[in-house]
Amino acid sequence: MPATATRKPNRRGRNKSEAAPAAPPVSPGMTGGRYRPLSLAEMERIHALVLQLLADLGLSQLTPSLEARAVAAGCQVDETGRLRFPRALVEDVIARTRRKFTLHGIDPAHDIEIGGRRVHAGTGGAAPTIMDFHSGKYRESTVSDLYDVARLVDRMDNIHWYHRSVVARDTHTILDLDINTTYACLSGTAKSIAVSYTDSASVRAVMPMLDAVAGGEGKFRERPFCTAVCCHVVPPMRFATESCDALEAAVEAGMPILLVAAGQAGATAPAALAGAVAQACAEVLAGLVLCNIIDPNCRGIFATWPFVSDLRTGAMSGGSGEQALLSAACAQMAGFYDLPNSVPAGMTDSKLPDIQAGGEKGYTISLAAHAGASMIHECAGMHGSLMGTSFESYVLDNDLIGAILRTVRGIEVSADTLSFDVIRGVVLGEGHYLGHPQTFARMKTDYLYPAIADRRSISEWEDAGARDAREVARDKVQTILADHYPRHIPEALDQQLRDNFNIILPRARMFGGNGVW
C-alpha cells in the first residue's frame, strides 16, 4: 500500500476519534474472579466446616429480640445459651438472598451495582489519628477531617464510595459521634456513604436527616444512599449486643447492611488461614440469616474481614502477604456463595505514603480485585495498620486503584483487536503504528494515564523540579480542598439540619477562604 494511502485515513481517524467521546479504559464494576487461591474442592471443604460451625457450635450472646426472631425461623438455643443455625436454614438463606442490588449514591450519577464479581473500590476504617497536612505529624482526627476527606474522595474517580475512614474525636457522646459522622459524610460527597452506627438509638436518630436529604419522609427507603456498617460479632463466634441492635434497626429502616466479621488470625481467629476464612464466613452468614429473617429483601453485604497478626508481637499486619491471601480467599468464597461482598485490602502497615505503602497496597488490592471482590474496603488513604490516614494518600491511591482496575478489565480478544488488517496495512505501508486510526481510537479506550505517577524522561523530570509523587499529590490535595465545597445539600436544608441536630462542624468551615486550606 502506498504511503500516501495511509495518510488520509489517519486524518479521518483522528477527527472521528476526537469528535466522539471515548469510553473510559476503567469504570466501576468491571468483572474480576480470574485469580483463584482456592480450588473448588477446597471451597467445598471450607463450606462444610462453615455449616458445621453454625449448626454444632453456634454463636452466643444474641439480643433477646433477634433471638426470638431466629428461634421462630427454625434456629435452636442449646443448653449453654448458644444459638445454633440448622444447615437447611443457612443454605436456604444463601439460596434466596439478593444476588445483586444498586448501592445508591446521594447523586444518582454515583449509583453502582453490587454483586456478580463486579469489582469496586472505596474507603473504610475508623482511624483515630490523621497526619496533619501542614505539620506532617499525626494528631487526633476530627469532624472537620471527616468532611475534608469526603470532599477529597468526591473528586477521586476510582474511589467509588465514602465509608467514614476516621473517627470524629472532638464529639463528646456516642450519639453526637454518629450524627456528626453522618452529617460530615453527607455534606462532603455526593457518592454513597457508610457509617458504623453504635446502636439502634443512633440509627433511629439519623433517619430524619437521611430522609430530609433524600427529599422528605420515607424517601430514603426508596433510594438508600447510606450503608450501616455492622460489626455484629465479637470473634470468635459471639454476637455483639449493641451492634446487633443497630443491625435490627437498620434493616427495618431499609439501609444496606455491611455485615462485618473481623477476627484477627492468631488472636481472635485461627492462625491457620483456612480456619480463619471458615470462621469469618460462619460469623457473617449468621448475620445474613438474621437480616433475612427481619427482611427477606434486605441489602446484605457479605463482609468477611479476617485480619492478620504478626505472630511475633500480636500486632495487626494489614499489609502482609498473608492478608492479601486471606482477603482474596474470602472474595472467592463469596463468589462460591454468589453473594454481594466486601473484603479489606490496602491497609498498609507503613506510617507514610512511601515505597512500603505502595508495595503493600499494590499486592493486597490487586489480589482482592482479581479474586472478584464486589467491594474492596479500606483500600484508600489508610496507614499504620488502620490506625492513621493521610490526605495525600487518597490522591496517590486513586491513581494506584485505577491501574489495578485496568488489569482487572484484562485484554479483549476479538477479530478487531487481533488487528490482522491493521498489521498488514502498516507492514506494507509506513512501517509504524504512530498516527494510525486504530492507535488514535484505542489510546483513550484501552489505555489509562496516571494523574500522579510520572512517566517523563529523567531530564524532563529534573528540569521540572525533580519532585516526587507525594509532593505532586499534596499540590492536588491543596487545590481540591481549597476550592471544592459541594453544594448538593441546599443551604436552606442545611440550616434545617443544624436546627434539628447538634452539628459541631462550623458552617463557615464549609466555604472557600476559611483560612484552613
- Summarised one tens digit per residue, pLDDT across range 301-310 is 999 999 999 9
Give whole-number Cα distances, 315 to 231, 264, 304, 308, 460, in Å: 20, 9, 20, 8, 43
Measured distance CA(161)–CA(468) in Å, rounded: 28
pLDDT tens by residue, 206-221? 999 999 999 999 999 9
pLDDT at 22: 76
Nearest to 75 by CA among 240, 339, 292: 292
Q: In CATH, what number does 93-409 get? A: 3.20.20.480
Contact yes or no for 77/67 (Cβ under 8 A): yes
Residue range 248-264, pLDDT digits in tens: 999 999 999 999 999 99
The model's pLDDT over 325-349, given as tens digits with 9 standing for 90+, comes to: 999 999 999 999 999 999 999 999 9
Residue 486 pLDDT > 90: yes
Residues 39-69 have pLDDT tens digits of 999 999 999 999 999 999 999 999 999 999 9
Residue 20: per-residue pLDDT: 54
The type of residue at 305 is W
Can you give the pLDDT at residue 21?
A: 66
Range 497-510 burial, b when 16+ CB lie within 10 A, else e:
beeebebbbeeeeb
What percentage of the chain exceeds 70 in pLDDT? 96
For 372-424, the pLDDT digits (tens) are 999 999 999 999 999 999 999 999 999 999 999 999 999 999 999 999 999 99
**Higher-scoring residue by pLDDT: 150, 15:** 150
Angle ∠(125,129,134) on CA atoms, nearest 5: 125
The confidence band for 4, taking pLDDT boundaries of 50, 70 and 90, is very low
DSSP 269: B
Work out the pLDDT band at 23, boundaries 50, 70, 90: confident
Residue 5 has pLDDT above 50, yes or no: no
Give span(s): CATH 3.20.20.480, the chain. 93-409
Q: What is the pLDDT of residues 353-364, one digit of tens each?
A: 999 999 999 999
Answer whether residue 71 shows pLDDT above 50. Answer: yes
> Higher model confidence: residue 3 or residue 182?
182
Average pLDDT, the chain: 95
Residue 468, strand partner residues: none
Burial class (CB in 10 A: 0-12, 13-18, 19+), 242: middle
Q: Report DSSP state, residue 99.
A: S
Rounded (5°) CA angle 92-98-102:
170
